[in-house]
Structure formats: C-alpha cells, structure tokens
Chain A
Amino acid sequence: MIAQALFFSAILFTIGVIGVLTRRNAIMIFLSVELMLNAVNLSLVALSRLHGVVTGQVFVVFTMTVAAAEAAVGLAIIIAVFRHFRTVDLENINLLKG
C-alpha cells in the first residue's frame, strides 16, 4: 500500500514537472506546481505511515497552509501580470532578459 502510494506520488510529481516545463500559460504552470506540492504531501504521509511517526503528517498540514497562502499570492501576481500585459503567456513575458 505504501509502495503504491509512493509510486503514485512519483508519477504525480513527474507530471507536475513536465507540466511546469512544457506549459506556457501561467495558470497551468501554477497548477502544475500545486500538483508537485501535493505529490510531495502524499509521499510525506506515506513515509510517515511507514516509519510510524506523525512528523510527516504534521508537515503536510504546514505545507497545505503554506500552499494556500502561496496560491493566493501567486494568483494575485498572475492577475497583476495579466492586467499589465493583457496576457498570461510566459513566452511573451521576458523583461528580465539579459
């Protein structure tokens, strides 16, 4: 059971990474990041179960709290970017080009 959970977590994380790497839309990248976060959450819970300590589960609660805050800030930034550029396609947003 734990093995399946960890395997599932790895797949989720890989999907998230691929999403971050391949998508151009900021919302989609943002969602992929959330996916990666939750994949890590899942593995934390599984490993907590494996070792019989609750520390991992406590961390998950923290992670979810931080993820909620991060989602709010991230979405706010995306909205601000959209207001400024009229797009959220990151291909077009490269003001920091060297």
Chain B
Amino acid sequence: MLLQSAGTGAEVLAHPLAGTVAWWMWLIPLLPFLGFVANGLLSLLPGYFAGPEDPSHDPDAGHLQPGDAGYSGPPPLDKWQRISTIVGPLVVGLSFLISIAVFLAARAPGMLEVPFIQTYWAWMPAGDLRIDWAFQLDQLSMVMILVVTGISFLIHLFSIGYMKGDSGYSRYFSYLNLFVFFMLVLVMGSSYPVLFVGWEGVGLCSYLLIGFWFDTKANSDAGKKAFIVNRIGDFGFMVAMFLIFANLGALDFAGVERAVAAMEPGQSAVITAICIFIFLGCAGKSAQMPLYIWLPDAMAGPTPVSALIHAATMVTAGVYLVARAGILFALSPTASLLIVLVGAMTAFFAATIGLKQWDIKKVLAYSTVSQLGYMFVAVGAGAYTAGIFHLTTHAFFKALLFLGAGSVIHSMHHAYHKANIDDDAQDMRNMGGLGSAMPWTRATMWVATLAISGIPLFSGFFSKDEILTGVFMRANQGLIAESTFLGISGSVFMYVVYGVSLLTAFLTAIYMTRLMRYTFHGPSRLPTSAREHMHEAPWIMTGPLVVLAVLSAVGGWLNLPSIMRLGPAHVLENWLEPVVGRATLMLGGGSMPAIEHSTEWMLVGIAIAVAVAGVAVAWIRLDPARLVPKAMSPAEHGVQAVLANKYYVDEGIDRALVQPTVTFSRRLLWRGLDMGIIDGLMVNGTAYLARGLSWVGSRMQSGNVGSYAWVLVFGVLLLLSLVILR
C-alpha cells in the first residue's frame, strides 16, 4: 500500500516508536472507514423495508409494527442486518484495542519525547506549499484517540439496541463508522489541512445523522441548520490557515511551532488575527456564542448520535484545536482572553436556558453547550490540561446522560406504542417515577448527574475544580491578567469569569437534579394504560451505561490535584506536558501558575458548597407531584417564558437575518437578478436580438432574382474597384 513510504525519512526511522506496534496506528482510522464501506454497501442492498420510526420522533406512535397482531405491512428486516450489527461495532472495537496497544507502547519512558509522525504521501506539493498526508501520534492525540474510539465503541453497542428494527439500520452504522473515521483523522492529522479534512468530515456526518430521519422536514431542516452554521465557523478556520501559511510559511504543527519559536507574546497582531479566526472555527464546531444555535436543534438525530457526536466527541473538536494551537494562543493573550470571555458567557447563558427546558434532550443539549463553554474558559485561560481533562470526563458523563435519556425515550415510546397513545415521549412533564421501572438507567444517570454537578470524588468534580482553580490563579498572575481588553484589566475579567463559572456550576447542579427528579422520581404522570409497559432497556443498552457510569465515577483519578493525596497526582498533566507545557508556561508569564494550598482548599470548599447547594436546592424546591402532563400544562409567564423560549434567540435570528435574507433573495436575487437580468436580459435577450437581426436579414431575401443580380453586380463592381484603385 501507500504505507511503503512510511518510515523512509531518517527522522522517522530514528523514532523509538517506529519499530513497535505504534507503526500500525494507520489501522486505527482505516478500520472504521472499511466498516463505513461495508455497511454503506449493505444499506444499498435491496430488501430494506420501511421499519418503525424513531421512538423519539414518531408522529404516529400508535401504528402497528412487525410482530403485532393485525400487522400487514412489509416484513421485518432481512438477514443482512445482522452483518451490520457485527461489522459496525467490531471495527470500532478493533480500533479501540489497537489504540490501547499503541498507548501501552507509547507510555514507556522516552518513547514520545518528539511526536511520532507517519507520512503516507505528498498531498499538496505546490511551490513553497508542501502538505503531506501524515498522521501524528503525540500525547494529546493519544488521549483523544482513546476517548473517541472508546466512547464510540460503547455507543455503537448501545445503538444495536436503540436502532433495532429501524429501516436505515445499516445506513446508520455506516454513517457512525464514517464519523469515527473522520474524527480520528481530525485528532491524528499532523497538519492543519489534514485536521481540516477530519473537521469537515465530522461536520458532514453530523449533518447526515441529524437528518437521519429525513422524511420529517424538521429533521432535515435541523441538519441543514447545523451544516450552515458550521460553515460560518469553517470559513474562519480556513482564513486562519491562509494567514498561517502566508505569515508563518508552514501548515504542519511542528513547522508552525518552529516558525513562532522566536516570537514574544503579545507582539504580533497577525497572530492575534490567526487566533481569532481559529476560534471562530471552534465556536462553530463546538457551539459557542454566537454559533451555538445549531446544537440544540441537532437533537433531531437518533439519541445515540446526540451522545456520540453532539456531546462526547465532535463538539469537543474546537477545544482540541485550541489546545493543539496552544502555542499560537499563548502568543496572543488578547485572543486567549476573548476565548475565556466567550466561553464563560456561553456557559452561563446556556445553563440558564437549561433551567426551563422540558424536553429531556434539550436540557442535555444546553448542558453540553454550557460545559463546552467551561472547556473554552480553561483552554483560553491557558489551563490546557484542565480543558482536555474536562473534555474527557465530560465525554464520559455526557455520553452516559444522553444514552440514559435514549433509554428513557426508548421505553417511553415503547409504552406509548403498546398503549396506543400518541404523545411526546421526550417531555419530562409526561414522565415521572420512571425509576422503579428502570433502576439501572436511574442509577447510572444519577452517577452522571452527580459527576456533572461537581459532587466530590466524581469525575466532574475534579475536572471542574481544576478549571475553577486554574481561572482563579490566573486572575492575578500570568499574561492574561496583565493584558487589558476594552480598557479593563484582564485580572478583573478573570475574577468575573471565576464568579460566572461558579454560578454556572450552581445552575448546572440545579437543572441536572431537576431533570433527574422530574424524570425518575415522584408520581408517574404516564397514563395508567402505558405505565405497565415501562421496562428497563435490554442489556446491550444498559451495559454501556454501566461502563460509562464507572468511568464517570472514577474518571477524576486521571488528574488528581496534588493537595488531596488520593492517589498519583497530575497524571494527565504530566502526560500532556510535552504538548501543551510550553504554551501553558508562556501564557503563565514564564512560570507555571501556582497557588497557596490554603487558598486552593478554600476554592475546593467553595466549589463543593456550590455543587451541594445546587443539588439540594433543586431537590427541596422542585416538587414533581405538582407537575401535570404536557398537554394540560399552563403556558409559561415572564422570565420563565423567556428561558423556556431560549431568550427568543432563534426568533431574533429569524427576524434579523433569515427573513431579510429571504426577502432580499426573493425580491432582488430571484425576481430582479435571476428572472430580470439572467432570464430576461441574458437568455430571452439573446433570443430577441437574434430574432431582430434575422428579421433584418430576412428583409434582404426578397425572393426576386433581379434584386439578387443587382446586389451581385454591385458587389463585383465594388471588389473590382477596390482591386483596381488600391
């Protein structure tokens, strides 16, 4: 294969990993790609019949399914579906196993002092520009590879149960495999363009999977919305790449790092521009203000997709990119501060919306936006490790929450279906007391809820605490604190951000407890006929939940703070140090930001108090017994209505951007330009001109031989006179 060229360069041969199992790392993305091809071909096979719709989006919950008495529709899926059941998860599982093997090889001392780069072929050799198709293995991409393949594998398993019987079963797995492939290209690419291929690819898969049930217009609209909003961000990323090449002369990570090695922070306006454009890309992909609007709508896809793409992996690509380009951001404290501010604003803003959502997936969607804001606060502040740490723990507990929600929706829909009821299977007002029927789902989701709320010893507690501490300590030391923005000192901003982040943590605890309390506790608001049909999900679905619950509970041990003495401290930080250490140091003003132990304990205490208070307030103040099913619920008023309607942001954008664009397009572009100029002037105009000219020409064709003879003679005389008089 093309891999023959790998290892030809002397530098690669010299790399200690070249002879080990890490040489096989190209298999990690290739396997899911093969899975995509296999499942894609399977999905094209005839014999796929219209199956039952998605449980969460079935407008006609009462319809009959194969196996029901009186069912007269097409037969259930044929035997080919079993191949997808095996191939889909298997390729990702194998990728995960290879990743673990590579990790075990790479963690030996001295193995990854420099990144292990495999060059496969020259992708764009053009003049000074030389971009190789190359994958890079370093500490950061290793973490991402493990998270992506591991979580993806669990979600593939869950999908077997969730998507069972769907008409697009193989298509679903082929998209999911393709997503894993592109995500791995994203995290393994050794240059910005290769990363961008993965970046665009995951966007494509996101679009495909959001609009998976494309026969409902709202779903395909949501897919388009995600695609278009992401395009705005991608534009920023591309401009950033052009700027990087024009000013730094290289596009691979190592080359960029070499090019900026001699620069001093805060000196170059070009670097700031590059950073801001990169962040625009990140804001699109990772749903930050103002480009977050697509993510809540992305819940139109199958719930495992929401778990994988719109919570655990793809949306964290922006965080990964900022950490990857950390050396650039460290050179521009202004851009870093901007990221912190946008992240904090997004975190708070989304958390408030999450307070009043009734759709169980919408709560989780806004929670995701909010937690992504948290990660950007961390990577913006220069606490790159904290950002990646929160990315990892968030992947655990948010995947778990979404899968749990999927399990709930699955059962709700099943019960509605059995009882022949047509109602919203995702609205929490229709649930209540599900815990008795679904003990596993309830228990695992509680673990995730406690983790995301920041209850001590759960994973989210450690990662969130590290972000809060990181922000606090950078408020009075380091380059961001010394910089000014809009005439205000960065230090002030950082203290404000710390406060806002604490408040967000409080709100997070409230809305998550609210979700759990309304869904699993209190009296059941299901109709009695449906109540008896509620049941726990099959083991193929609860199994991944349990694994994720364990990870959510103990994930904090990845990076313990040194003051707590619960085990080896700063494992992740030490691991990531070769990649992000220099940027952290530079943004810290030449030294690692540090803090007194007493202060750190105080900060931990505050964080715990806020989290516990949030859970307690929500538990005490919210009474599920007062809720009534959605159909009977009164309309919201005042602030509640504003929150429930997401601050009317979508309506505002519709009014301010979409409608004017539509009007402009219709009036000027369509009626004026298209119909007027192109159709009228260009197309019809050409025809009118030809017709007019030919009318003139046809007048000369009198049909009278005599007149032709006159013309002929005069022509001859004219030519003769020209020849003679010349």
Q: In residues 28-69 of chain A, which contact B (Cβ within 8 Å)? A: 29
**CB within 8 Å of B: which A8-23 residues:** 17, 20-21
Q: How far is the CA of A93 from the CA of B697 in the complex (A)?
A: 20
- Select one of A21, A93, A98 contacting B701, CB under 8 A: A98
Q: Which residue of A lies closest to B699 (CB)?
A: A98
Chain A neighbourhood of B710, CB < 8 A: 21
List residues of chain A with CB within 8 A of the CB of B703. Answer: 93-98
CB closest chain-B residue, reference A96: B703
CB proximity to B under 8 Å, residues A64-98: 90-91, 93-98
Are A90 and B698 touching (Cβ within 8 A)? no
A24 CA / B706 CA spacing, docked (Å): 8
Contact status B706-A90, CB under 8 Å:
yes
Instruction: Report A-chain residues with C-beta under 8 Å of the C-beta of B699.
Output: 98
Which of A20, A93, A94, A97 makes the CB contact (< 8 A) with B709? A20
- Tell me how far the C-beta of A92 lies from the nearest C-beta in chain B, rounded to whole angstroms: 9
- Closest residue of chain A to B697 (Cβ to Cβ) is A98
Give the CA-CA distance A98 to B709 in the complex, in Å: 17
| Cα of A97 to Cα of B710 in the assembled complex, Å | 16
Contact with A along B690-705 (1 / 0, CB 8 A): 0000000111111111
Which B-chain residue is minimally distant from A23 (CB atoms)? B706
Q: Which residue of B lies closest to A32 (CB)?
A: B709
Distance between Cα atoms of A4 and B569 in the complex (Å): 127
Q: Which chain B residues border A96 with CB–CB below 8 Å?
A: 701, 703
Query: Which residues of chain A are near B697, meaning CB under 8 Å?
Result: 98
Q: Which residues of B contact A97 (CB under 8 A)?
A: 701-704
Given known A-B contacts A17-B713, A21-B713, A98 and B706 have beta carbons under 8 A apart:
no
Chain A contacts of B704 at CB under 8 A?
Answer: 90-91, 94, 97
Kindly state the separation between the CA atoms of A69 and B691 in the bound complex, as whole angstroms: 42
* CB contact list, B676-726 vs A, under 8 A: 697-706, 709-710, 713
In the complex, what residue of chain B is closest to A95 when comparing beta carbons?
Answer: B703
The 4 closest A-B pairs by CB, nearest first: A98-B701, A94-B703, A97-B703, A98-B698
* Chain B contact residues, CB within 8 Å of chain A: 697-706, 709-710, 713
Instruction: Provide 16 A-B residue pairs closer than 8 Å at the C-beta atoms, listed in order of the A residue.
Output: A21-B709, A90-B705, A91-B704, A91-B706, A93-B703, A93-B705, A94-B703, A94-B704, A96-B701, A96-B703, A97-B701, A97-B703, A98-B697, A98-B698, A98-B699, A98-B701
Instruction: Please give 18 more A-B residue pairs, beta carbons under 8 A apart, in addition to A90-B705, A94-B703, A97-B703.
Output: A20-B709, A21-B709, A21-B713, A24-B706, A29-B705, A90-B704, A91-B704, A91-B706, A93-B703, A93-B705, A94-B702, A94-B704, A95-B703, A96-B701, A96-B703, A97-B701, A97-B704, A98-B701
